[in-house]
Structure 1
Amino acid sequence: MSVGLAPQQRQAILAILEFGLGGNMSIGELADHLMIRYNSAVELVNRLQRVALVEWSNTANDRRRVIVRLTAKAHGRIENVFNAS
């Protein structure tokens, strides 16, 4: 999973995988978990989205809340790392 990813990007993917409820995590929760500012988490998610490792959406009941989820591509990269070990 490390190929082509910065350490903070790897940490974000693992945080979403391990701590996100059902594979979903809000940007605020991600920021809190990584101990970074909200706007830094937004930029991090945007970088991950550009390489198709995460997708985000607003929740139905609160359009201000943004939920981040891993894509199939991210799950595939994670799986490859564990299979290589």
Structure 2
Amino acid sequence: MKKPLSKDVYIYLSEFRYQLRKFLNFSESAAREVGITPQQHQLLLAIMGFPNRNAATPRELAERLQITHHSCVGLIDRCEQLELVHRKKNPADGRSVLVELTSKGEKILERLSEVHLEEINRIQFLKKFDEN
């Protein structure tokens, strides 16, 4: 018979969810403060953070964002209208395009990434403080 989970496990899982939600709230607010939506921020980050290149196909981005391909194309369209991203031909596959950040998109993403790193470091500092 399986042993029931301890109260400490529930506390740990609850704290993890709480800290995750706090970080997501922080992230959503930070995106809005620079004039973009949280989804637009996620798209910019998914593009720049794509492994081994600074561009990705809409299908790859949909997977990274865990949204449908159709929804991702709409998000790309809106970001393109705001001059945050642009499409270019995919040299590896002429049937698809790659999405890249514009210089405006890069500047916004860098600003957001700096404040996100500060928040992550703050959270880690608090975690170390709590352990002592």
TM-score range, shorter chain: 0.7 to 0.9
RMSD of equivalent CA atoms: 1.8
Aligned to 1:8: 39
1:61 is displaced (CA, Å) by: 4.5
Work out the percentage of aligned pairs sharing the same amino acid. Answer: 35
Instruction: Give ranges in structure 2 of 5+ residues lacking alignment.
Output: 1-29, 119-132
Aligned to 1:69: 100
Please tell me whether the aligned partners of residues 41 and 109 of structure 2 are also in contact (alpha carbons under 8 angstroms).
no
Instruction: Give ranges in structure 1 of 5+ residues lacking alignment.
Output: none
User: Which of 87, 92, 117 is residue 56 of structure 1 equivalent to?
Assistant: 87
Q: Does 1:25 align with 2:56?
A: yes
Structure whose residues are more often strand by fraction: 1
Which structure is higher in RCO with an 8 Å CA cutoff and minimum separation 6? 1
1:80 is displaced (CA, Å) by: 3.0
User: What SS is found at the alignment partner of 1:64?
Assistant: coil
Aligned to 2:127: none
CA distance in 2, matches of 1:39, 1:21: 25
Structure 1 residue runs of 4 or more that deviate by more than 3 Å after TM superposition: none
Q: Does 1:79 align with 2:105?
A: no
Under a length normalisation based on structure 1, what TM-score does the superposition of the two structures give? 0.84
1:78 is displaced (CA, Å) by: 2.4
